[in-house]
Amino acid sequence: MRQNACHPTKTVPCQPVNAAGKIRRVGAGVGPCKGAQERLIRVPCSTGAWTRPARSDRRALAAVAVTGQPGQPLRVMIAGAPAAGKGTQCAKIVDKYGLMHISVGDLLRAEVAAGTPAGRKAKNFMDNGDLVPNEVVVEMVKNKLGEDEVQQNGWLLDGYPRSGEQAEAIEKEGIRPDIFLLINVPDELLIDRVVGRRSDPATGEIYHLTFKPPPPEIVSRLVQRSDDTEEKARNRLRTYHANVDAVVGYYKNEVVEIDGTASMDMVFEDIVAAIDGIRHLA
Ligand code: AP5
């Protein structure tokens, strides 16, 4: 284990990064990642550079990190474009860390289904792939985060904040994450993910007709979201790109970018390494 230049007081091994913050590619057999197979996890260092633990050591970090800060509930934000895999990964994160999952999209869909005043206000915006007005969303999220169970178990906030204004609103309440996971997937892959997504209303499980085919016996009960058309997805993507930089700007010190193009299990492996690595370094 060599001394980490980015964390001089810690003996955490890191991979080299270039000036743009990308992990320098290492040749086959030289390091833990091989050429085009390499996936990126980037974590900020105190110097402002980016780094990550080497794969072999990430496993070791994961083993110690979960017990590294007993009693401290973990606070995680997860962001990414529509269909980047947030919901898929949240299910896995909740299983592993026991966090309270707060999905703003799910909360809003529940309001719409129940026909509440908030739901009636939100419906058209959601159907068009636009952001629901802050007057509906911000209080809803603040109230959820304030619940005792959420405070005690820690939280996984999925789909909030989606604009600089939303980030500022919780910043004013002193609410910050320990880590901000940003799942990156190129737009051209996302449309396929959107139109092929189906979910099981009985279990909440998310499937994909190609990438995660459902068992044949449940296919007839699967549902498709009303905003999962190519046209609406393109608008959701425009909305995402117009806002993501402002949001990330609030979490420069907490952001970890995850390559979301890998398999679902590999993405999760990187997320676990990122979360455990951050807890270890804290
Ligand atoms: P929301 O429900 O949050 O939708 P979204 O952000 O567009 O994200 P999605 O749920 O579409 O995708 P995901 O990233 O969870 O992907 P998934 O895991 O399902 O928000 C809906 C709407 O609510 C918004 O448009 C807005 O109107 C409103 N809203 C929400 N939050 C708001 C806020 N803060 N302010 C204002 N309005 C708000 O995966 C997608 C598919 O890909 C699945 O089929 C899955 O099986 C597959 N897949 C996942 N990972 C992989 C992988 N690694 N490889 C291959 N396939 C994969």
Say yes or no: CB of residue 84 within 6 Å of ligand 1: yes
Let me know whether 95 and 161 are in one domain: yes
Cα angle 41, 44, 45; round to 5: 125
Let me know whether 210 and 134 are in one domain: no
Say yes or no: CB of residue 233 within 6 Å of ligand 1: no
From first CA to last CA, the distance across the chain in angstroms is 19
Residue nearest to atom 52 of ligand 1 (CA): 264
Here the tokens at position 32 are 């833990």
Reference 205, options 253, 264, 164; nearest CA is: 264
Say yes or no: CB of residue 118 within 6 Å of ligand 1: no
Is residue 195 within 8 Å of residue 230, measured between CB atoms? yes
Is residue 102 within 8 Å of residue 155, measured between CB atoms? yes
- Is the model more confident about 112 or about 15? 112
Let me know whether 42 and 124 are in one domain: no
pLDDT at 72: 78
Number of domains in the chain: 2
**How many angstroms separate the alpha carbon of residue 127 from the centre of ligand 1?**
14
Domain that holds residue 84: 2-99+154-281
Which of the listed residues 194, 206, 222, 271 should we mutate to test ligand 1's pocket, taking the one with most ligand atoms within 8 A of CB? 206
The residues, ordered by sequence, that sit 6+ positions from 38 with a Cβ below 8 Å of its Cβ are: 23, 25, 26
Reference 237, options 187, 192, 196, 195; nearest CA is: 187
Say yes or no: CB of residue 85 within 6 Å of ligand 1: yes
* C-alpha distance from residue 144 to each of 59, 105, 157, 186, 188 (Å): 33, 13, 10, 31, 34
**How many angstroms separate the alpha carbon of residue 158 from the centre of ligand 1?**
9
Q: Residue 13 above 50 pLDDT?
A: no
Neighbouring C-beta atoms of residue 91, cutoff 10 Å? 14
| CATH code of the domain containing 32 | 3.40.50.300
Let me know whether 70 and 181 are in one domain: yes
Let me know whether 258 and 225 are in one domain: yes
**How many angstroms separate the alpha carbon of residue 83 from the centre of ligand 1?**
4
- Report which ligand 1 atom has the smallest distance to the Cα of 263: 53
Say yes or no: CB of residue 126 within 6 Å of ligand 1: yes
Q: Which residue type does 221 have?
A: R
Asked which of 153, 179, 194 is the last residue of a domain, the reply is 153
Let me know whether 69 and 192 are in one domain: yes
List active site positions: 86, 162, 197, 225, 236
Say yes or no: CB of residue 243 within 6 Å of ligand 1: no
Let me know whether 163 and 179 are in one domain: yes
Considering only 45-59, 119-133, 174-188, 191-205, which range has the smallest mean pLDDT? 45-59
**How many angstroms separate the alpha carbon of residue 72 from the centre of ligand 1?**
28
Let me know whether 111 and 7 are in one domain: no
Average pLDDT of the residues in 152-156: 96
Distance CA 79, CA 74 (A): 16
Residue nearest to atom 48 of ligand 1 (CA): 85
Q: Which residue has the tokens 């401290």?
A: 72
- Is the model more confident about 40 or about 187? 187
Let me know whether 27 and 54 are in one domain: yes
Q: Which tens digits make up the pLDDT trace of 168-213?
A: 999 999 999 999 999 999 999 999 999 999 999 999 999 999 999 9
Let me know whether 148 and 164 are in one domain: no
Residue nearest to atom 23 of ligand 1 (CA): 105
pLDDT at 71: 60
Let me know whether 173 and 247 are in one domain: yes
Let me know whether 94 and 14 are in one domain: yes
**How many angstroms separate the alpha carbon of residue 86 from the centre of ligand 1?**
6
Is residue 158 within 8 Å of residue 90, measured between CB atoms? yes
- Report which ligand 1 atom has the smallest distance to the Cα of 267: 53
**What is the rounded average pLDDT for all residues in the chain?**
81
